[in-house]
Chains A and B, each alone.
Chain A
């Protein structure tokens, strides 16, 4: 998915190519996603992030088809700015606001996998610690205490910021996200959003290959949905 201002789409295409998928870029003015098994909203600054991050992008023509796809149970993944768009669209709970220290953060962070039930974590084990680059100013996840309680009860929190040993603490929270939350999913698990960039952790030369398991979860989850009785 490419909005005006999206800038991580080629990284995502490269990473999905590497794991053997056949990605195609779709411009936001399209209205049809027929023939696709999954959709990824990559990072960037869709529509300049004017008003709020993702606020204008959620009304792009393609978002009707994205919402329809989400309703079928197919994987709909948002990375960084794509996560913000999915929150604005109401496809994921909560929202993302400016980082606690008002600084743009661009560095690898550690993430602890909390559940393997989503379209982004089917290929990861609960408790596994991943090292993935974070690259954002508005990465601070917020939601009301009731929403957080409901999400925890429904196992909708995918990954939390942690230290290298997997311990969740304030010190390991780069941006102030409530509960160190770095990624969430909807109740069905097929719509998933993640602030760090798994597509930037797919080759040794990039410093980490921990993103591969997350991205491989997308086709694995789609197969699970397809074979569900």
Chain B
């Protein structure tokens, strides 16, 4: 089993490279993500007009922005395969598991690069200071991993269901909610600064949720991909 997993991971890299190359040519998914995030952020920042937000509200806002941006861009990798008619070629070229890993890595790369842009902007525009920077980074990273992990397989489902516009959000929100609850709570603690021991339950929740989500997606992906 471990040898197969590493083989899948290795075979996933070319899929990731292919997706990155396609993305560099059009920059559709990334611009959709970034534009969505920046527009929301600017709206929020503009409407509160320089007032300092409470930590609770700021933490929820950050994850609302990240969640809806993810919904705007992450289904792209699968929908685009369907639209371009390249699904069959990809099916021939790779097993389902490498395809899953490739798409997952691609979505993780997308979300991380989005977070790298949006999170600093968020802190600057909303005039926030982070009490525990390292934990804050860790929480954002784990939250993004979870968002990508769950959204990848749901995006595959949505692309097979005829890419109905709002379906992804409807499907993803409730499934992602345990993750969002954990991430918002942990972000709030990291912004406000609490003893490190208080962060443990949230981080555990994020960690196990991510692990279970990725394993389940890996087991189920074959059934979505091959029909």
Are A and B interaction partners? no
A interface residues, Cβ below 8 angstroms from B: none
